[in-house]
C-alpha cells in the first residue's frame, strides 16, 4: 500500500531545466543548420584573430546552437587538433571589472582543463592580482597628564610605603644607626631612573647638538605632553618604526598588460594542438548603459595585441551571441546603414538564429508538456494548450523560443501542482498568459477587455472567468465570484457614476452576487443620508436585467418608495430616479400605482417655492412629471398611459403653469394644452403670459404654442393687441431691448396663425396701423441695423403681406412717440422693395416667414414677371419655391402658372421638387373639365416624368377620363381646330398607350383625313406629332381607316397640296392602303399627282411604291395607264431640277417620244398581266 507521500509525489509535476540542448529538437532543424555554419566559420578562422557574431532574439536558441556546434567540433577533433570552448558569462560578472574577471575565469578554466602547468597558472594569477610592497609603519604612545604623573611616581612607591608603614610609627631603637645597604641601592636606582627620564625629556623637548656639546633653549617642535609621553614609555618594548612586506590588490590590469597575459596563456595552451574558442555570452542581458563599454572590451580581445612581439598560437577566436535590436538600441546605432556598418566592423561573419515557426516548435512544446506532467494529458487538451500559447505569441508579436516554451510549461506545472486539477489547465494557461494585465490593477478582472475573447474561445472551459478569479485571489472557485464582486457591487450601487456598475455587469456571476448584495441593504438605504436610494435606482436602471432578476431587484425598492414619506422637493432628480422603478418592476398592474405615489409626493413648502420662483418651480414640477410618464409608458398599454396622463391635472399657479409649458416646449413630446387640464383662470393665465412677455420675451415665444388650447380667439386677439401696443409705442432702441423686439415680432406673426384663416382679415386690421404710421418699418430697419436679420425679416414679411399691391408705402408724418425716424424707415423699406437685396440669408428668412402671413397666390402674382412684380417679391418667391415653403395654396392657380414658374426658376431640380410637393394639397379636378384642358403641356409632361407616383397622378387620370370620354363631334372639332383636347391626347399618348373609343375616334379621324385630301383643312400645330394621333386607333383600326380613305377617293377630287399633307401626316395609313384593289383610282388620284411632284415627300413615297406602280399599270385601264404615262411625258426634262430622276422614271416605265402614238394605234408596251406571266 502506498503512503501519502508517494501519492503526493506522483501527483506533482517535474521542473524542466532551461539548459542548452545538444541536439536540435525543432522540426525545421534550423538550429542544426546554423551550428554547421558556425563550425565552418570557426574552422576557416583558425590561426588568426577574429569573431563570429551569433545574432538572435532572447531565448531563440543561441546557446543551443553553440552546444550543437561544440558537439560537431568534437567529432572533428584529431591527434593534431582539438577544439575547446571557454564560455564567459558577461551577465554573471556585470558588477566585476571585465579584464580581471575574464582573466581569472580563463585561468580557472585552463586549470580545470589541465592545459597548462600549475606553476604557470600561479604566476599568471600573481601577475593578475598581486603586487609586493615594503611598508614602514611609525607608532607612538601619548599619555595624558594624570598618566604621566602616575608613571613618574610609580618608582617611589616602596619609599612611600616604608615611610607610611608600621615601622615608621615605632620609635627608633637607636637614633645613631644609619640606613641599611638595600636602602642605598634602591635610592641609587631611583636616582638613575629619574635622571634618565630627565635627560630624555631635555633631548626631546629642546634642540641639543651632542657632537659639539651645544645646548639651545629653542623648542624641538614636540609638545610637552608628547615629550613627556615619549619619556615615560622609553622602557616599553613597542617600536616606533617598522618596515613590512605586504600583497596589495590593485586595479584592473592595463589594456597592454591584459592582452599580454591573455595571449601568453593562449599561446601556451594552443601550442599543444588545442584551438580555444572564446564564447562571451549574455551581453544582451546587461544594463543598457554598460553595453557600450563591454562591447568595446569584447572587441579588444581579438583586435588588440599585448605588445609588439607576436607569439605563435596566440590568436584569439571569439563567438559572441547577441540580440541585435537590444544591442543597437543600447549603443544608439539604430538605422539600417549604421547597424550594418557596426556589425561589419566587429565580426568576420554573422550568423542569424531565427526563432522557430509554430510548425517547428509544436512537437517541442508537446514533448516538454509530456516531460513536465506525470499525469497523462490527452491530445485534445495538449492541442488547446498549444493553441493558447501560439495565440499569445501572435497577439504579442513574440517569437517562440525554447526558453519561453519551457518557462510557460514550468509555470503551468506549478499551478497544477498547487491546485491538483481543481482548476482546469486551460484556465491556468490563460491566467499565465494574461497575468501581467490581470495583476496590473485590482479591478482588472472586472473589465471586459482584460482577457481577449479569443483566449476564452480556444480554452472552451465553462466558468473560465471564475477559475481565473480563483487563481488571481487564491480562493476556491466556488467563492471566486463573491470575493471578486461583492464589495465592488456594493460600492458601485451607491456610486454617482453609472458606468461603474455597468462595467461589473460584464463579469461572469454578476447577477447572482447582485441579488445577494440587494437582499438586505435595500431597506436600510432609506435611513442613510439623502441621495442614496435614488443613485441605486439610477445604477440599476443602467443594467440590462432579465425579467426574473429585474422583479427581484426592483420590488424591494418599489416597496420602500411606497412606504416612504421623504420630501421630494427640492431635489426633483430624486423623483426622476424613483420613476425608474416604475419600469423596473415590469408589472402593468403595479406600475400605475407606483407612478401615482411618486406623482402625489411632488410638492414643496411655500417658502421653498418662493425661494426659487413660481416659474422655475413649474419647470421642475413638470420635468419630474415627464420622467414619471416616460417610465410608465414603457410598461402599460397606450390606453392606460393615456388615462394616467389625462388625469394628471396641473393644479398650480398660472405662473407655474407657464413654467410647465416652457419645459413641455423643450421636451417636444406633445403640446401641453392638448393633454393636461388646468384649474387656472384663463384671464389670469393671459395676464401671466403678458407679464412673461415683458420679463422673458424669448421664453414667452416658446410658451405661446403650448398654451394654444387654453386660449380662445378672443384671448389671442387681446394678446395681439397687447403685443402690437408695445411695438407701436416703444422704439426698443437699446441693445437690451433687441431680444424683446425679436420675440414680439415673432409672437405677432405667430398670433396670425393662432387666430386662423377665418380671422386673417381681423389680424390684418389689427396690424395695419403699424404699417401706416411707420412703426413696423422702424422695427424692421432697427433690427437690421442691429444685425438681427431674423427679426428684421419677420417685420419685412408682415409689411409685404399687408400691402394692398406692390406699390410703395406712403411716407408718414412724424410718429407721436418715435418722431421722424419712421420716415427714413418707410423709405428704407420702399427701396428694399424695389431694389431687392444681395443678402441670400435675409431673403431666406423673409421667405420662411411669408407663407404664414399671406396666401401663396399673392406671392405668385407679385413675384412672377408682370406688371405687379418687384425685385424683392421675385427674390422671395424664388426662395419660397426653392424651399417649398407654402401655405394657403390654390391648386388650380398654382398649376396653371407652372410654365411661368418653371421659366422663372430656371432650375429643373428645384422645379421638380416644388411640383412633387404639390401632392400635399387638395387636388380635385373631376368636376372641372374646362380647367383640366387648360393645363399646359409642360405641366403634364413633367408630372408624367417626375410625379406620376404621387397624388398628382390624379391629374393624369382626370385628363385620361376627359380624353377617353370625348364624343365624335368633340374629336372632329379637336382635329379641325387642333385644340387642347388634341394636345392632351398627344401628351398622354407619348407616356401611355391611350386608345380612345373607336366608335367616336375613327369616324372623326376619317373625316379629317378626307378633308385633308380635298384641301379643306390644314394641320398647323401638331404636324410632327400627328402619327401619335393616328396611333390612337391601334394597329387593326389603322388598316380599317386606310381602306375607308381609299374607298373615299372615288367620291372626291384630291387636292395636290392636301395629298402631300396626307402622305406626310398619315404616312402609316397611306402605307396600309391597298391601292392594287382600285388601280384606276389609285393611278388617277394618287400616283399621277405624286409622280411629277418635286416634293421630297412625294419622291420618297413613289420610291417606296415603284413595284406597286408597275402592278397598277398592268391592271389599270388603257385610259388610266395612258393618263399616267402622259403625265410623265408631259414633264419637260430641261425645266426640271430632278431631270435625272425623270429620265430614270421614263426608262423604268419604257416611255419614249412616240409612246403616245403607239398607244393610240392599239399597241401596248405594258402587256396584260396574263401575258407577262407567260
Residue 825 pLDDT exceeds 70 = yes
Residue 482 pLDDT exceeds 70 = no
The torsion angles phi and psi of 803, rounded to 5 degrees, stand at -70, 140
Q: What is the Cα–Cα distance from 1084 to 1061, expressed in whole angstroms? A: 18
Percent of the chain with pLDDT over 70: 80
Q: What is the Cα–Cα distance from 262 to 313, expressed in whole angstroms? A: 12
Q: What is the pLDDT of residue 1079?
A: 92
Residue 264 pLDDT exceeds 50 = yes
The partner residues of 815 in beta bridges, in order of sequence, read 819
Average pLDDT over residues 746-755: 81
Q: What is the pLDDT of residue 1155?
A: 44
Q: What is the pLDDT of residue 664?
A: 87
At 1086 the three-state DSSP class reads: helix
The partner residues of 46 in beta bridges, in order of sequence, read none
Nearest to 744 by CA among 796, 682, 690: 690
- pLDDT category of residue 7 using cuts at 50, 70 and 90: very low
Q: What is the pLDDT of residue 336?
A: 65
Q: What is the pLDDT of residue 553?
A: 82
Q: What is the pLDDT of residue 18?
A: 67
Residue 1170 pLDDT exceeds 50 = no
Residue 315 pLDDT exceeds 50 = yes
User: What pTM does this model have?
Assistant: 0.49
Q: What is the Cα–Cα distance from 854 to 566, expressed in whole angstroms? A: 56
DSSP H or E stretch at residue 243: strand 241-247
- pLDDT category of residue 831 using cuts at 50, 70 and 90: very high
Q: Kindly report which listed range (107-111, 134-138, 575-579, 1023-1027) carries the lowest average pLDDT score.
A: 134-138
Residue 138 pLDDT exceeds 70 = no
Q: What is the pLDDT of residue 531?
A: 62
Q: What is the pLDDT of residue 845?
A: 92
Q: Kindly report which listed range (185-194, 918-927, 1093-1102) carries the lowest average pLDDT score.
A: 918-927
Residue 948 pLDDT exceeds 70 = yes
Q: What is the pLDDT of residue 839?
A: 93
How much is the mean pLDDT over the chain? Answer: 79
Average pLDDT over residues 565-573: 65
The 3-state DSSP composition of the chain as helix, strand, coil percent (nearest 5) reads 65, 5, 30
Average pLDDT over residues 577-606: 81
Q: What is the Cα–Cα distance from 1005 to 1017, expressed in whole angstroms? A: 13
Tell which wins on pLDDT, 404 or 203.
Answer: 404
Average pLDDT over residues 481-501: 78
Q: How far apart are the first and last CA of the chain?
A: 133
Residue 858 pLDDT exceeds 80 = yes
Q: What is the dihedral of CA 877, 880, 886, 889, to 10 degrees?
A: 20
Q: What is the pLDDT of residue 166?
A: 57
Q: For residue 973, what is its C-alpha cell?
A: 372639332
- pLDDT category of residue 969 using cuts at 50, 70 and 90: very high
Q: Kindly report which listed range (391-405, 427-441, 664-678, 1130-1144) carries the lowest average pLDDT score.
A: 1130-1144
Tell which wins on pLDDT, 1107 or 168.
Answer: 1107
Q: What is the pLDDT of residue 346?
A: 81
Residue 386 pLDDT exceeds 80 = yes
Report the relative pairing of strands 206-209 and 50-55 from DSSP bridges. Answer: unpaired
At 86 the three-state DSSP class reads: strand
Residue 1174 pLDDT exceeds 50 = no
Q: What is the Cα–Cα distance from 690 to 772, expressed in whole angstroms? A: 25
Q: For residue 526, what is its C-alpha cell?
A: 432609506
Q: What is the Cα–Cα distance from 442 to 469, expressed in whole angstroms? A: 11
Residue 931 pLDDT exceeds 90 = no
pLDDT digits (tens, 9 = 90+) for 11-53: 467 887 766 666 666 656 777 888 888 888 888 888 788 888 8
Percent of the chain with pLDDT over 90: 7
Q: What is the pLDDT of residue 40?
A: 85
pLDDT digits (tens, 9 = 90+) for 199-211: 777 777 666 665 5
Which of 458-472, 678-692, 716-730, 829-843 has the largest mean confidence?
A: 829-843
Show Cβ contacts of residue 766 under 8 Å, excluding neighbours closer than 6 positions: 717, 720, 721, 724
- pLDDT category of residue 56 using cuts at 50, 70 and 90: confident
Q: What is the pLDDT of residue 1173?
A: 31
Residue 1046 pLDDT exceeds 60 = yes
Q: Kindly report which listed range (441-450, 869-878, 1020-1029) carries the lowest average pLDDT score.
A: 441-450
At 138 the three-state DSSP class reads: strand
Nearest to 543 by CA among 511, 516, 519, 574: 511
At 447 the three-state DSSP class reads: coil
Q: What is the pLDDT of residue 182?
A: 65
Q: What is the pLDDT of residue 242?
A: 54
Report the relative pairing of strands 241-247 and 50-55 from DSSP bridges. Answer: unpaired
Amino acid at each position: 500500500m502506498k503512503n501519502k507521500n508517494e501519492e503526493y509525489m506522483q501527483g506533482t509535476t517535474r521542473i524542466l531545466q532551461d539548459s542548452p540542448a545538444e541536439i536540435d529538437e525543432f522540426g525545421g532543424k534550423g538550429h542544426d543548420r546554423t551550428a554547421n555554419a558556425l563550425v565552418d566559420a570557426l574552422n576557416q578562422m583558425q590561426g588568426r584573430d577574429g569573431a563570429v557574431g551569433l545574432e538572435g532574439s532572447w531565448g531563440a536558441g543561441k546557446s543551443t546552437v553553440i552546444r550543437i556546434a561544440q558537439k560537431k567540433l568534437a567529432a572533428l577533433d584529431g591527434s593534431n587538433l582539438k577544439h575547446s570552448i571557454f564560455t564567459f558569462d558577461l551577465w554573471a560578472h556585470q558588477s566585476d571589472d571585465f579584464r580581471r574577471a575574464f582573466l581569472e575565469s580563463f585561468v580557472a578554466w585552463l586549470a580545470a582543463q589541465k592545459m597548462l602547468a600549475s606553476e604557470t597558472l600561479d604566476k599568471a594569477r600573481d601577475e593578475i592580482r598581486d603586487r609586493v610592497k615594503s611598508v614602514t609603519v611609525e607608532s607612538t604612545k601619548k599619555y595624558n597628564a594624570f598618566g604621566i604623573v602616575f608613571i613618574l611616581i610609580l618608582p617611589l612607591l616602596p619609599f612611600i610605603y616604608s615611610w607610611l608603614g608600621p615601622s615608621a610609627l615605632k620609635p627608633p631603637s637607636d637614633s645613631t644607626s644609619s640606613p641599611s645597604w638595600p636602602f642605598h641601592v634602591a635610592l641609587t636606582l631611583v636616582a638613575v631612573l629619574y635622571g634618565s627620564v630627565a635627560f630624555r625629556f631635555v633631548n626631546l623637548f629642546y634642540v641639543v647638538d651632542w657632537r659639539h656639546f651645544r645646548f639651545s633653549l629653542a623648542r624641538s617642535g614636540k609638545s610637552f605632553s608628547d615629550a613627556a609621553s615619549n619619556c615615560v614609555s622609553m622602557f616599553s618594548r613597542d617600536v616606533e618604526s617598522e618596515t613590512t612586506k605586504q600583497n596589495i590588490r590593485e586595479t584592473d590590469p592595463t589594456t597592454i598588460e591584459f592582452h599580454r597575459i591573455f595571449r601568453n596563456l593562449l599561446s601556451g595552451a594552443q601550442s599543444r594542438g588545442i584551438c580555444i574558442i572564446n564564447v562571451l555570452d549574455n551581453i544582451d542581458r546587461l544594463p543598457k548603459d554598460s553595453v557600450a563599454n563591454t562591447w568595446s572590451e569584447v572587441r579588444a580581445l581579438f583586435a588588440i595585441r599585448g605588445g609588439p612581439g607576436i607569439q605563435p598560437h596566440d590568436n584569439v577566436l571569439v563567438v559572441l551571441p547577441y540580440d541585435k535590436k537590444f544591442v543597437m538600441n543600447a549603443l544608439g546605432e539604430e538605422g539600417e546603414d549604421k547597424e550594418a556598418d557596426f556589425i561589419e566592423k566587429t565580426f568576420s561573419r554573422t550568423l542569424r538564429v531565427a526563432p522557430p515557426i509554430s510548425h517547428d516548435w509544436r512537437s517541442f512544446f508537446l514533448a516538454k508538456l509530456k516531460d513536465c506532467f506525470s499525469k497523462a494529458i490527452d491530445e485534445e487538451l495538449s492541442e488547446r494548450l498549444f493553441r493558447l500559447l501560439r495565440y499569445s505569441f501572435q497577439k504579442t508579436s513574440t517569437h517562440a523560443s525554447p526558453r519561453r516554451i519551457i518557462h510557460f510549461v514550468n509555470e503551468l506545472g506549478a499551478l497544477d501542482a498547487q491546485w491538483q486539477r481543481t482548476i482546469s489547465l486551460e484556465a491556468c494557461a490563460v491566467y499565465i498568459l494574461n497575468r501581467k494585465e490581470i495583476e496590473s490593477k485590482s479591478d482588472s478582472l472586472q473589465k471586459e477587455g482584460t482577457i481577449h475573447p479569443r483566449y476564452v474561445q480556444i480554452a472552451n472551459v465553462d466558468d473560465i472567468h471564475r477559475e481565473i478569479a480563483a487563481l488571481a485571489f487564491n480562493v476556491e472557485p466556488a467563492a471566486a465570484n463573491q470575493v471578486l464582486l461583492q464589495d465592488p457591487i456594493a460600492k458601485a450601487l451607491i456610486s454617482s457614476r453609472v458606468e461603474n456598475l455597468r462595467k461589473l455587469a460584464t463579469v461572469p456571476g454578476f447577477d447572482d452576487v447582485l441579488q445577494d448584495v440587494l437582499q438586505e441593504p435595500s431597506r436600510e438605504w432609506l435611513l442613510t443620508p439623502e441621495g442614496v436610494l435614488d443613485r441605486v435606482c439610477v445604477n440599476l436602471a443602467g443594467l440590462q436585467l432579465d425579467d426574473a432578476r429585474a422583479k427581484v431587484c426592483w420590488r424591494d425598492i418599489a416597496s420602500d418608495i411606497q412606504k416612504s414619506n421623504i420630501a421630494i422637493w427640492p431635489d426633483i432628480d430624486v423623483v426622476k430616479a424613483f420613476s425608474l422603478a416604475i419600469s423596473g418592476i415590469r408589472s402593468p398592474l403595479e406600475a400605475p400605482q407606483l407612478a401615482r405615489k411618486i406623482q402625489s409626493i411632488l410638492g414643496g413648502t411655500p417658502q421653498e417655492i418662493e425661494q426659487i420662483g413660481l416659474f422655475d418651480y413649474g419647470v421642475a414640477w413638470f420635468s419630474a412629471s415627464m420622467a414619471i410618464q416616460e417610465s410608465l409608458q414603457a410598461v402599460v398599454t397606450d390606453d392606460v398611459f393615456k388615462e394616467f396622463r389625462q388625469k394628471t391635472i396641473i393644479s398650480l399657479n398660472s405662473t407655474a403653469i407657464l413654467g410647465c409649458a416652457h419645459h413641455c416646449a423643450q421636451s417636444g413630446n406633445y403640446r401641453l394644452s392638448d393633454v393636461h387640464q388646468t384649474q387656472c383662470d384663463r384671464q389670469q393665465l393671459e395676464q401671466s403670459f403678458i407679464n412673461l412677455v415683458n420679463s422673458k420675451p424669448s421664453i414667452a415665444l416658446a410658451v405661446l404654442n403650448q398654451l394654444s388650447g387654453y386660449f380662445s380667439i378672443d384671448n389671442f386677439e387681446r394678446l395681439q393687441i397687447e403685443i402690437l401696443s408695445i411695438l407701436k409705442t416703444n422704439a426698443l432702441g437699446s441693445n437690451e431691448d433687441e431680444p424683446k423686439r425679436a420675440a414680439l415680432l415673432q409672437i405677432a406673426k405667430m398670433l396670425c396663425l393662432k387666430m386662423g384663416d377665418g380671422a386673417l382679415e381681423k389680424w390684418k386690421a389689427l396690424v395695419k396701423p403699424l404699417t401706416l404710421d411707420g412703426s413696423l418699418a422702424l422695427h424692421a430697419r432697427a433690427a437690421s441695423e442691429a444685425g438681427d436679420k431674423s427679426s428684421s425679416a419677420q417685420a419685412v414679411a408682415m409689411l409685404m403681406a399687408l400691402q394692398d399691391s406692390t406699390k410703395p408705402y406712403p411716407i408718414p408724418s412724424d410718429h407721436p412717440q418715435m418722431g421722424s425716424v419712421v420716415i427714413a424707415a418707410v423709405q428704407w423699406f420702399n427701396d428694399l422693395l424695389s431694389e431687392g437685396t444681395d443678402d441670400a440669408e435675409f431673403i431666406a428668412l423673409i421667405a420662411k416667414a411669408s407663407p404664414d402671413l399671406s396666401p401663396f397666390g399673392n406671392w405668385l402674382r407679385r413675384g412672377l414677371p408682370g406688371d405687379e412684380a418687384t425685385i424683392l417679391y421675385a427674390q422671395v418667391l424664388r426662395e419660397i419655391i426653392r424651399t417649398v415653403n407654402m401655405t394657403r395654396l390654390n391648386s388650380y392657380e398654382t398649376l396653371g402658372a407652372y410654365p411661368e414658374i418653371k421659366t422663372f426658376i430656371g432650375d429643373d431640380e428645384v422645379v421638380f421638387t416644388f411640383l412633387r410637393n404639390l401632392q400635399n394639397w387638395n387636388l380635385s379636378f373631376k368636376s372641372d373639365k374646362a380647367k383640366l384642358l387648360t393645363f399646359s403641356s409642360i405641366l403634364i409632361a413633367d408630372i408624367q416624368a417626375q410625379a406620376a407616383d404621387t397624388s398628382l397622378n390624379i391629374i393624369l387620370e382626370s385628363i385620361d377620363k376627359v380624353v377617353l370620354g370625348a364624343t365624335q363631334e368633340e374629336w372632329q372639332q379637336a382635329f379641325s381646330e387642333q385644340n387642347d383636347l388634341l394636345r392632351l391626347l398627344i401628351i398622354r399618348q407619348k407616356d401611355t398607350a391611350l386608345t380612345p373609343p373607336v366608335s367616336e375616334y375613327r369616324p372623326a379621324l376619317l373625316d379629317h383625313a378626307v378633308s385633308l385630301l380635298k384641301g379643306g383643312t390644314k394641320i398647323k400645330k401638331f404636324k410632327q406629332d400627328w402619327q401619335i394621333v393616328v396611333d390612337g386607333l391601334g394597329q387593326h383600326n389603322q388598316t380599317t381607316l386606310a381602306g375607308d380613305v381609299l374607298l373615299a377617293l372615288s367620291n372626291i377630287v384630291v387636292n395636290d397640296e392636301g395629298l402631300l399633307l396626307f402622305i406626310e401626316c398619315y404616312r402609316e395609313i397611306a402605307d396600309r392602303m391597298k391601292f392594287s384593289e382600285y388601280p384606276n383610282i389609285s393611278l388617277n388620284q394618287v400616283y399621277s399627282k405624286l409622280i411629277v411632284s418635286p416634293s421630297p415627300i412625294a419622291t420618297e413615297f413613289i420610291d417606296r411604291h415603284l413595284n406597286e406602280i408597275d402592278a397598277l399599270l398592268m391592271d389599270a385601264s388603257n385610259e388610266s395607264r395612258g393618263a399616267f404615262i402622259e403625265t410623265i411625258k408631259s414633264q419637260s426634262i430641261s425645266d426640271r431640277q430632278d431631270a435625272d430622276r425623270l429620265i430614270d422614271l421614263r426608262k423604268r416605265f419604257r416611255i419614249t417620244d412616240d409612246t403616245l402614238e403607239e398607244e393610240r394605234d392599239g399597241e401596248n408596251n405594258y402587256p396584260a398581266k396574263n401575258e407577262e406571266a407567260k
